[in-house]
Structure 1
Amino acid sequence: MDALDVARWQFGVTTVYHFLFVPLTIGLSVLVAILQTMWHRTGNERYLKLTKFYGKLFLINFAMGVVTGIVQEFQFGMNWSDYSRFVGDIFGAPLAIEALVAFFLESTFIGLWIFGWDRLPKRLHLAAIWAAAIGTNLSAYFILAANSFMQNPVGFRINPDSGRAELTDFVAVLTNKVALVTFPHTLAGAFLVAGSLMVTVGLWHVMRNRDSADTGAYRFATKLGSWVVLISSALVLLTGDIQGKIMTEVQPMKMAAAEGLYTTESPASFSVLTVGSLDGSRELFAIKIPYLLSFLGTGDPNGTVQGINDLQAQYASQYGPGNYAPIIPVTYWSFRFMIGFGLAAAAIALLVLWSQRKGRTPTSKWLLRAGLVMPVLPLLANSFGWIFTEMGRQPWIVFGEMLTRDGVSRSVSLTEVLTSFTAFTLIYAVLAVVEFKLLVRYARAGVPDVTPQTDDDDDTDDAERPLAFAY
């Protein structure tokens, strides 16, 4: 074990942990805005209750995401200074815009939304949550644009004197084909997470508090969340199909590794299960679906998909001696776990909808248990998706331009990286307990009591009103 190994583990652990909060924040921000819009248009009190209820869960998650996200920035300078020097001119641009525009937009309007109950006119207060939701989604795009440069470098040149990558076309970076397809795919995955949490909380209250006056609100939330999960699942599959074709084009080794495809095939079969040799150089046993991989990778059932061994020889000739294949078992299984956990969440959502058909109330204990674990499934799917995305790019930190081993900080020792890794992991463990307890506590508390909102034309002196803080 050396500093490079620990630095990679640290970045992987902190990134995956941070991303547990990101999709829930993205999805819930929009769902809460939709609920408040429904209350604004109909005046139905149950939508107001649900807005404040799920809004509280959204704010808890948002705060935890901000805290864990700060660590990500420090790691670039701490453990990956050579990478930061190489790509900082490009990588820094979308991240700076994300902070100055998107993050400030969402954080400012979240503050207005929190403290604006009963003080802002209803329309302005509704606009605040929509502005926060838009800012949250814009943040995702700029961050994904930066990451997409690592997958498919565009809009740059290498300075021969400094050896650094310099930005030449910022529009090309923002319109990177990888970013354009990764963004809707990530959003669909985010709504899958948010919808699952909405189902879980609503279903628990429907089944445990059947005689509650708010049962109708919980039933609506459960159905809305289930439909969000099903629609999001379909969008994940659609955008994932497009993403697979682009991945085959710009990173053929990642596609080959995802399928355990060692030799070039035309047509290529999709591997349901593949067992390879210990050195990862050949296939020993496989269960396959004919033509499917060619269609997923190229759009043509008879299309050619390059294999790991052929690509390794090509890259060795192009970039010099070395192993250019990622860790095959990691990419192979993370790809399948990503798909499997996402489909499992969709299956539970379908069962929840079926159990409530024609006004029925679910009674199955197994359904309740499945509902309780439901939010974990899309979180795992999202996490394995990012593990596949980042591990499948290896050994490159910037594909075709910089190897991961060349991006690590040379002045940071193994002891220093181990110390920071241990400290961050312990802190994150504490934060995980805090997050879980807060979410469970407020989710079990149920929807709040609400009082009639003050009309926009109320002539009461604003200074005489108490500061309204809904949470």
Structure 2
Amino acid sequence: MDALDVARWQFGVTTVYHFLFVPLTIGLSVLVAILQTLWHRTGNERYLKLTKFYGKLFLINFAMGVVTGIVQEFQFGMNWSDYSRFVGDIFGAPLAIEALVAFFLESTFIGLWIFGWDRLPKRLHLASIWAAAIGSNLSAYFILAANSFMQNPVGYRINPDTGRAELTDFVAVLTNKVALITFPHTLAGSFLVAGSLVVTVGLWHVMRNRGSADTGAYRFATRFGSWVVLVSAALVAITGDIQGKIMTQVQPMKMAAAEGLYSTESPASFSVLTIGSLDGSRELFAIKIPYLLSYLGTGDPNGTVQGINDLQAQYASQYGAGSYTPIIPVTYWSFRFMIAFGMAAAAIALLVLWSQRKGRTPTNRWLLRAGLVMPVLPLLANSFGWIFTEMGRQPWIVYGEMLTRNGVSRSVSLAEVLTSFTAFTLIYATLAVIEFKLLVRYARAGVPDLTPAPEPDDTDDAERPLAFAY
């Protein structure tokens, strides 16, 4: 074990942990904005209760996402300084815009939304949550544009004197075909997570608090969240199909590794289960669906999909001796776990809708248990999707331009990286417990009572302190 191994583990752990909060923030911000819009348009009090209820869960998650996200950018300079030096001219531009425009837009209007209840005009207050939601989604786009450069470098040149990548076309970076499809795919996955949380909390209250005055609000929440999950699952499948075809074009090794395809095939079969040799060089046993991989990769049932061994020989000839193959079991199974967990969440949403048909109240305990684990499923799907995306690119940190081993900081020792890795892991574990307890506590509390509290006669409104208006 050396500093490179620990630096990779640290970045992987902190990134996956941070991304547990990101999709929920992106999706829930829009869902809360929709609920408030329904209240603004109809005046129905149940929509206001749901807005404040799920808005509180959104704010808890948003705060945790900000805290964990700050660490990410520091790691580029601390553990990956050679990478930052090589690609900083390009990578820094979208990240700077994300911070200066998208994040500031998001955080500013979230503040107005939190403290603006009964202080701002209704339309302006509604606009503030929509502005925050737009900021969250813009933030995702700029970050994905930066990441997409690592997957498919465009709009740059290598300076022969400095050996650095220099930006030549910022529009090309922002319109990278990988970014253009990864963005809607990520958004669909985010709504899958947010919809699942809405379903889980609503279903728990429907089944545990039957006959309460707010049952109608919870029943609407479960139906609303279930439809969000089902529509999102369909969009994930559609965008994922397009993403697979683009991946075959720009990163054929990743597609081959995802399917355990060792030899070039035309037509290529989709692997249901493949067992390879210990050295990852050949297939020992496989269950396959004919023609499917060719269609998924090229859009043609008879299309050619390159295999791992042929690509390894091609890259060794092009870039020099060495292994250019990712860890096949990781890419193979993370790809399948991503699909399986997402489909499981959609199946539970369908069961929830069926259980409430014609005004029925669900009573099956197994449905409640399935509902309680439902938010975890799309979170796992999102996490395995990112693990596949990043691990499938290996051994490149910038595909075709820089190997991961060449991007690590040379001056950082194993002991230093190990110390920071251990510290971050312990801190994140503590934050995870706090986040979980806060979400459970406020989810159990249910929708707020909207009965206005009496105001003291001797207190002027302008002198009242700002308060968390929930």
Q: 1:75–1:189: structure 2 CA closer, same or farther, 3 Å change rule?
A: same
Distance 2:369 2:422 in 1: 34
Q: Secondary structure at the match of 2:57?
A: helix
- Any idea what the Cα deviations from partners look like across 1:126-164, whole Å, max 9, x if unmatched? 000000000000000000000000000000000000000
Contact 1:21–1:64 (Cα < 8 Å) also in 2: yes
Q: 1:279–1:458: structure 2 CA closer, same or farther, 3 Å change rule?
A: farther
- Any idea what the Cα deviations from partners look like across 1:225-279, whole Å, max 9, x if unmatched? 0000000000000000000000000000000000000000000000000000000
Q: Secondary structure at the match of 1:264?
A: coil
Distance 1:219 1:365 in 2: 17
How many angstroms does 1:470 deviate by? 1.5
Distance 2:96 2:457 in 1: 42
Distance 1:458 1:16 in 2: 52
Gaps of 5+ in 2: none
How many angstroms does 1:466 deviate by? 6.2
Distance 1:235 1:73 in 2: 30
Distance 1:422 1:460 in 2: 51
Contact 1:3–1:412 (Cα < 8 Å) also in 2: yes
Q: Secondary structure at the match of 2:422?
A: helix
The answer for the alignment partner of 2:418 in structure 1 is 418
How many angstroms does 1:469 deviate by? 2.8
Contact 1:294–1:303 (Cα < 8 Å) also in 2: yes
Q: Share of identical aligned residues, percent?
A: 93
Distance 2:76 2:200 in 1: 37
Contact 1:294–1:301 (Cα < 8 Å) also in 2: yes
Distance 2:299 2:451 in 1: 56
Q: Secondary structure at the match of 1:397?
A: strand
- Any idea what the Cα deviations from partners look like across 1:29-61, whole Å, max 9, x if unmatched? 000000000000000000000000000000000
How many angstroms does 1:370 deviate by? 0.2
Q: 1:322–1:270: structure 2 CA closer, same or farther, 3 Å change rule?
A: same
Residue 77 in structure 1 maps to residue 77 in structure 2: yes
The answer for the alignment partner of 1:204 in structure 2 is 204
How many angstroms does 1:462 deviate by? 5.2
Q: Which moved more, 1:460-469 or 1:212-221?
A: 460-469
How many angstroms does 1:467 deviate by? 3.8
Q: 1:457–1:185: structure 2 CA closer, same or farther, 3 Å change rule?
A: farther
Q: Secondary structure at the match of 1:246?
A: helix
How many angstroms does 1:457 deviate by? 22
How many angstroms does 1:450 deviate by? 1.3
The answer for the alignment partner of 2:469 in structure 1 is 470
TM-score by length of 1: 0.98
Residue 182 in structure 1 maps to residue 182 in structure 2: yes
How many angstroms does 1:463 deviate by? 1.8
Contact 1:116–1:469 (Cα < 8 Å) also in 2: no
Q: Which moved more, 1:428-437 or 1:458-467?
A: 458-467
Aligned residues: CA RMSD: 2.0
How many angstroms does 1:319 deviate by? 0.3
Distance 1:457 1:152 in 2: 62
Distance 1:254 1:99 in 2: 31
Q: 1:458–1:264: structure 2 CA closer, same or farther, 3 Å change rule?
A: farther
Distance 2:362 2:20 in 1: 29
- Any idea what the Cα deviations from partners look like across 1:90-146, whole Å, max 9, x if unmatched? 000000000000000000000000000000000000000000000000000000000
Distance 1:466 1:171 in 2: 46
Map 1:16-165 onto structure 2 (within 5 A): 16-165=16-165
Q: Secondary structure at the match of 1:285?
A: strand
- Any idea what the Cα deviations from partners look like across 1:282-333, whole Å, max 9, x if unmatched? 0000000000000000000000000000000000000000100100000000
Count the aligned residue pairs: 468
Distance 2:451 2:443 in 1: 20
Q: Secondary structure at the match of 1:274?
A: strand
Q: Secondary structure at the match of 2:228?
A: helix
Contact 1:116–1:468 (Cα < 8 Å) also in 2: no
Distance 1:44 1:388 in 2: 44
Distance 2:158 2:74 in 1: 25
Contact 1:257–1:392 (Cα < 8 Å) also in 2: yes
Distance 2:217 2:154 in 1: 49
Distance 2:167 2:451 in 1: 54
Q: Secondary structure at the match of 1:58?
A: helix
Contact 1:117–1:468 (Cα < 8 Å) also in 2: no
